Structure 1
Amino acid sequence: MTHAQRLANVRDDMRLQQLDAFIVPHDDEHLGEYIPPYAERLAWLTGFTGSAGAAVVLTGKAAVFVDGRYTVQVRHQCDAGLFEYRHLIQEPVLDYVLSELAAGSRVGFDPRLHSRGWFDAANKKLAARDLKLVPVGVNPIDKHWHDRPEPDIQPALLLSQDYSGQHSEAKRNRIAERLAANNIDAQLLTQAEPINWLLNIRGRDIPCLPAVLSFALLHNDGAVQLFAEPAKFNGLDLAGHSGHNVTLAPICELESALCALGQQGARVQLDPATANAWSSLVLEQAGAELVFADDPCMLPKACKNPVEVQGSRAAHLRDGAAVCRFLAWLDRRLAEPHPEREDEGTLADRLQALRAQAPEFVEASFSTISALGPNAAMCHYHHGNGTPRTLGQDAIYLVDSGGQYLDGTTDITRTVAVGEPNDEMRKLFTLVLRGHIDLACARFPAGTGGLQLDALARMPLWQQGYNFDHGTGHGVGHYLSVHEGPQRISPKGSTVPLTTGMIVSNEPGYYRENAFGIRCENLEVVQPAETDGDIPVFEFEHLTQVPFDRRLIDTAWLEARHIDWLNDYHAGVWEKISPQLTGGDLTWLERATRPL
């Protein structure tokens, strides 16, 4: 079925339901960033495969919305004859709907795929212009997606306290005490990551996200009702692992559990940013009193305990050795005849295979961005969406990749020379690297959020008239999602203070459409800094241990302090990674970490 036919089928269904518009987000019922294949409704309808976006189907036209990471990719994947391209930030979905529809129009949405916060804001905004927000019982895409994949049933993992650092009962009791103090009877949890963190479980339901897709109710006595596919826990002693007051039921029983709370008149807390509208409406209609507040698991999950931090260090040492072996092999391959036999796909496979040699490795932490030349200008490019570009025709190569290990999650980007970079490429790489160093060197008082630090990484580019259209840093989980909140570093980012144990990426970049892309990324963990002052101060400890490509550095664009930082960083990489390498790989590392 072509995308034109799919669009026509959705419009047929809209006419039956008397809808003038239908909104299609990139979300599943859990509203997490990563979704399983059976929930890829946006991709089925439009062809766009990015991790963030939306579409609006009107009776006579349609539009697809993406942020700055995907403005190039969307033009490659979506038919301009079917969809207009819109910037998700500059022209939000609801603004577009209001500009296109007349008063009295009906706007359809699937309440399971939108947050309660979105529902309340959208309802208010549309009603002010006499437009009606209409929940649909059956998503029209689901009606016509005849070859839709079935949900995969993968076994769950009970994560040892040797890795988690804290028993589930201690986590649950700490949060339950706060619920009780605020007269909350139960907390509704709908995203997989906080539930998996809370119960010390992991899964394989979604590629790259080691979590069991589930819902949960955490009661103010610490008891948890977990709603997940029971077959995933066959042969596992969940109660023995997470605590005797943890029960398991199929997801289909969630609605009755919500209704039961409503009939008791319970005060139920939920996060309007992460809980889907459907679950909150079920509670409300059943008689529950809703209390809106941030998910109480998010902040303690983000602040890694000492065991998790030490595990993350160990995972990065392992990961750094694998990436160094890959970069050493790549340089040797480029020196051989016919390096063009390698392409973006075979390069990504090689790196994955090297990571997989570690016994603690589970899977990639996201789909590897293996991008040569102009493909690197697409921030979230994936070679599987087209014909992989081959070595030999480009000056630089960008590889953004990571691993899920039992003791930590990694994410690293390196931009390396695979040809003859010109002076402008070297200048821009150095400006990006300079911004990376300036952020890495930051010391900041308690209470500082990532929003306040973002400009440090952009300033070298700004001063020369350049910028990049994505955040500078995202939070990273511990053997969980490679993207986590509430911490992040972005011009529109979080004001949540960065504090001990939070892991964030540091990844400024520069992208020139149809030409090249540059990004320098390490992961950092926030730690207390020693000072002579009288206020608490924090700093970053870099976790990632891989050299930056000296061949792309133009020292004319660096100050002495930047060169000192690079030399110190490379000396540390040599000290930590060299014991894991031998032969040609060790020789490569010695050259790559020589002082500037």
Structure 2
Amino acid sequence: MNEIRQRLKALRLELLRRNLDAWYISGTDPHASEYLPDRWQTRAFLSGFTGSYGIVVVTHEEAGLWTDSRYFLQAEEQLKGSGIKMYKHRVPDAIPPEVWLAKKLTPGSKVGFDPQTVTVSGFHNLSRFLDEAGINTVETPDLFEKIWENRPDLPQDKVFELNPSQTGLSRKDKRELVVAELKKYEADFQVITALDELAWLFNLRGSDIPYNPVFTGYGIVGKNEWILFANGAKIPVELKARLEKEKIGLAEYEDFFTWLKSVRGKKVFIDPGSASYSVFSTLQADNKIADGNSVVSLLKARKNSTELEGYRQAMKKDGAALVAFLFWLKENVAKGTETEFTAGRKLAEFRSQQEAFVGESFAPVMGYREHGAIVHLNVGEKDALLLKPEGILLFDSGGQYLHGTTDITRTIALGEVTLQQKTDFTLVLKGMIALSQSKFPLGTKGCNLDVLARMALWEHGLNYGHGTGHGVGHFLNVHEGPTSIRQEFNEVSLQPGMVLSNEPGLYREGEYGIRTENLMVCVEKETTAFGKFFGFETLTLCPIDTRLIDFELLSENERKWLNHYHQWVHKELEPWVSPELKVFLEELTAEV
């Protein structure tokens, strides 16, 4: 931790040189990415905390890291001895970093921030609280350039192309859809800053960020503008020729802000939730700004029939790999040689044997016993627990296939389990089933449905701290906006074609964790005199461990859903598993 303290000291010296009282670090990159290339792992560099979400604030006397409930236990552990205190974020009664700063600093103080890495929304939220306290916000350069020796460069990996038979739409088709939407705002073009939106729009993929098949770049799309800003060395010669033939302008990544400065008299659409404040400040003086949820993001979230068929194929391959993994666990745990880490690698190995597998969709979570209560724990070889034929194992993992992205959590018994574990597991399952079976009218928001996944738990005085569902990309980011299913309000309603997770859980600190997760797609159910009604169709194919169910807590309807689900899983996966696993699959999906 001495290294972390030295980095904090170096940053504080920079603050002194610039006459700043604090520096606000969003913990992301110029594209508001969740997962980051090495160059932008600034939060981990400064604090030692390796979770995918966290804001860091450094003053001359104190330093804090704010993260959400997924990482409370992990952050407490990783920040020990660093001189950085962990603060809870996104939970009731939490004091967010901007409020903390307003209380800690005196009027007239100066808080610096890098406008490249703070979104427009993030800046307005920060400045609102600080302005009220008489504290100034000051744009600064990237101070990590001063304190980070041998900072990694951006990756130079090549991008590759997906054709319309995989995506369902050509680049031209997608541009026309975007232009039609932009007309509603009377906007000339949209600035694309989010990397998954860029990849979707141009039917390109890359490998700049672990687990997310995206590449670093910016885009401009409108009736008269059609430009891709990316390092030219990343684009193969043949692909470059095709893009130029389609009249797509190609420019270097570093030239993006120079081009923005040249824009005059336009009405430009940006998404304040993903566009950096530097994009906004560069454009605002000489142009009109229209803002809202990204047009590209909304189009991308509503998957077309080709994309949905791709998910279904990916689920069959993923399901076959998962059945092989469950069999491997059954055969090997009793030997006393396998750990959470080796189990994670084995699951990745089974997935890698599937055709069109590209890689994992996120770092796998393998949580045995008390580790299961650490929601997003990713153990290393040295700190992994030995698996034993007792207790429960929670594993959350996913795969990237050329035709779809998967994300699944299962909790399984490795041996004898307690009555409390069975009760907890069953209450979580009841919530997952309730959300799976929900039917709702057009215009329903995710927060309107979140209660369905929690009701059985709430009735027993139980709860979980994370959201219930997130969007999932099509061979793209495993966490995708703009919609979600969680208690917090999200203005984007659920619409047909949106693929979301359904993952209630329960965590007993120091004991175990339980989560059951399927992916599902929003579909039209019926139209009545009262309007259109939607529901969900489950996509994930993997047995649920019936040894952990207290059947006295299941209603007849819930038992019927479970049996129907298992019949479907058996039917779909039976042709995909090896002959020796067919009997095992039959056992796992037997009627209860």
Residues paired across the two proteins, number: 588
> Quick one: which amino acid aligns to residue 236 of structure 2?
N
Superposed displacement of residue 37, structure 1 = 1.3
Structure 1 pair 96–572 and aligned structure 2 pair: CA distance change class (3 A): same
Instruction: Describe the superposition over 1:509-529 as per-residue Cα deviations: whole angstroms up to 9, x where unpaired.
Output: 001111110000000011111
Give distance in 2, aligned partners of 1:178 and 1:592. 47
Find out whether 1:482 has 2:478 as its counterpart: yes
Equivalent in the alignment of 1:415 = 411
Superposed displacement of residue 224, structure 1 = 1.4
Matches within 5 A, 1:439-518: 439-518=435-514
SS in 1 for 2:238: coil
Equivalent in the alignment of 1:258 = 260
The more displaced of 583-592 and 473-482 is 583-592
Give distance in 1, aligned partners of 2:185 and 2:577. 54
Give distance in 1, aligned partners of 2:579 and 2:181. 56
Superposed displacement of residue 99, structure 1 = 1.2
Q: 1:436 aligns with which of 415, 432, 439?
A: 432
Equivalent in the alignment of 2:103 = 99
Contact 2:116 2:277 in 1 (8 A): yes
SS in 2 for 1:529: strand
Matches within 5 A, 1:142-161: 142-161=145-164
Q: 2:200 aligns with which of 194, 197, 203?
A: 197
Q: 1:170 aligns with which of 166, 170, 173?
A: 173
Equivalent in the alignment of 1:301 = 300
* Identity in percent: 36
Find out whether 1:224 has 2:238 as its counterpart: no
Structure 1 pair 402–251 and aligned structure 2 pair: CA distance change class (3 A): same
> Quick one: which amino acid aligns to residue 30 of structure 1?
H
Matches within 5 A, 1:349-368: 349-368=345-364
Structure 1 pair 577–142 and aligned structure 2 pair: CA distance change class (3 A): same
Superposed displacement of residue 83, structure 1 = 1.6
Superposed displacement of residue 77, structure 1 = 0.7
SS in 1 for 2:316: helix
Find out whether 1:140 has 2:139 as its counterpart: no
> Quick one: which amino acid aligns to residue 299 of structure 2?
P
> Quick one: which amino acid aligns to residue 329 of structure 1?
W
Give distance in 1, aligned partners of 2:172 and 2:379. 44
Q: Which runs of 5+ in 2 are unaligned?
A: none
> Quick one: which amino acid aligns to residue 16 of structure 2?
R
> Quick one: which amino acid aligns to residue 289 of structure 1?
K
Superposed displacement of residue 230, structure 1 = 1.1
The more displaced of 248-257 and 393-402 is 393-402
Q: 1:587 aligns with which of 571, 583, 587?
A: 583
Give distance in 2, aligned partners of 1:241 and 1:594. 52
Instruction: Describe the superposition over 1:469-508 as per-residue Cα deviations: whole angstroms up to 9, x where unpaired.
Output: 0000000010111111112100014242212110000000
Runs (4+) of structure 1 exceeding 4 A deviation are: 530-534
Give distance in 2, aligned partners of 1:488 and 1:128. 31
Find out whether 1:46 has 2:50 as its counterpart: no
Structure 1 pair 495–201 and aligned structure 2 pair: CA distance change class (3 A): same
Contact 1:377 1:515 in 2 (8 A): yes
Give distance in 2, aligned partners of 1:436 and 1:407. 26
Equivalent in the alignment of 1:2 = 3
The more displaced of 391-400 and 568-577 is 391-400
Instruction: Describe the superposition over 1:163-192 as per-residue Cα deviations: whole angstroms up to 9, x where unpaired.
Output: 100111111012113334543222111111
Equivalent in the alignment of 1:62 = 63
SS in 1 for 2:375: coil
Give distance in 2, aligned partners of 1:83 and 1:43. 12
Contact 1:372 1:394 in 2 (8 A): no
Give distance in 1, aligned partners of 2:410 and 2:488. 25
Structure 1 pair 193–80 and aligned structure 2 pair: CA distance change class (3 A): same
Give distance in 2, aligned partners of 1:247 and 1:6. 41
Equivalent in the alignment of 1:27 = 28
Give distance in 2, aligned partners of 1:112 and 1:239. 31
Q: 2:209 aligns with which of 186, 193, 206?
A: 206
Structure 1 pair 243–566 and aligned structure 2 pair: CA distance change class (3 A): farther
Matches within 5 A, 1:312-331: 312-331=311-330
Give distance in 1, aligned partners of 2:590 and 2:134. 67
Superposed displacement of residue 238, structure 1 = 4.0
Equivalent in the alignment of 2:516 = 520
Give me the CA root mean square deviation: 1.6
Superposed displacement of residue 212, structure 1 = 1.5
Superposed displacement of residue 374, structure 1 = 1.0
Structure 1 pair 216–478 and aligned structure 2 pair: CA distance change class (3 A): same
Equivalent in the alignment of 1:332 = 331
Structure 1 pair 50–242 and aligned structure 2 pair: CA distance change class (3 A): farther
Find out whether 1:269 has 2:269 as its counterpart: yes
Give distance in 2, aligned partners of 1:10 and 1:393. 49
Give distance in 2, aligned partners of 1:135 and 1:80. 30
Equivalent in the alignment of 1:115 = 119
Matches within 5 A, 1:518-557: 518-530=514-526, 535-557=531-553
The more displaced of 360-369 and 175-184 is 175-184
SS in 2 for 1:297: helix
Structure 1 pair 242–328 and aligned structure 2 pair: CA distance change class (3 A): farther
Give distance in 1, aligned partners of 2:547 and 2:46. 44
Instruction: Describe the superposition over 1:518-571 as per-residue Cα deviations: whole angstroms up to 9, x where unpaired.
Output: 000000011111477652111111100100011111111111111111011001
The more displaced of 83-92 and 299-308 is 83-92
Contact 1:158 1:238 in 2 (8 A): no
SS in 2 for 1:580: coil
Relative to the length of structure 2, the TM-score reads 0.96
Find out whether 1:281 has 2:281 as its counterpart: yes
Superposed displacement of residue 243, structure 1 = 6.1
> Quick one: which amino acid aligns to residue 562 of structure 2?
L
Q: Which runs of 5+ in 1 are unaligned?
A: none
Superposed displacement of residue 273, structure 1 = 1.2
Give distance in 1, aligned partners of 2:240 and 2:195. 16
Give distance in 1, aligned partners of 2:554 and 2:458. 15
Contact 1:157 1:202 in 2 (8 A): yes
Give distance in 2, aligned partners of 1:448 and 1:29. 32
Superposed displacement of residue 351, structure 1 = 0.6
Superposed displacement of residue 385, structure 1 = 8.4
> Quick one: which amino acid aligns to residue 157 of structure 2?
Q
SS in 2 for 1:579: coil
Equivalent in the alignment of 1:566 = 562
Give distance in 2, aligned partners of 1:180 and 1:459. 42
Instruction: Describe the superposition over 1:110-162 as per-residue Cα deviations: whole angstroms up to 9, x where unpaired.
Output: 1101001222332232122110101112x222311113222221111111111
Give distance in 1, aligned partners of 2:457 and 2:62. 39
Structure 1 pair 511–243 and aligned structure 2 pair: CA distance change class (3 A): farther
Contact 2:483 2:493 in 1 (8 A): yes
Superposed displacement of residue 39, structure 1 = 0.4
SS in 1 for 2:57: strand
The more displaced of 461-470 and 324-333 is 324-333
Instruction: Describe the superposition over 1:365-402 as per-residue Cα deviations: whole angstroms up to 9, x where unpaired.
Output: 11111111111111110012861111117511111000
Give distance in 1, aligned partners of 2:52 and 2:477. 13
Give distance in 2, aligned partners of 1:49 and 1:66. 11
SS in 1 for 2:344: helix
Contact 2:232 2:252 in 1 (8 A): yes
Relative to the length of structure 1, the TM-score reads 0.96
SS in 2 for 1:346: helix
> Quick one: which amino acid aligns to residue 115 of structure 1?
T
> Quick one: which amino acid aligns to residue 283 of structure 1?
L
SS in 1 for 2:284: helix
> Quick one: which amino acid aligns to residue 129 of structure 1?
A
Matches within 5 A, 1:232-247: 232-238=234-240, 240=242, 244-247=246-249
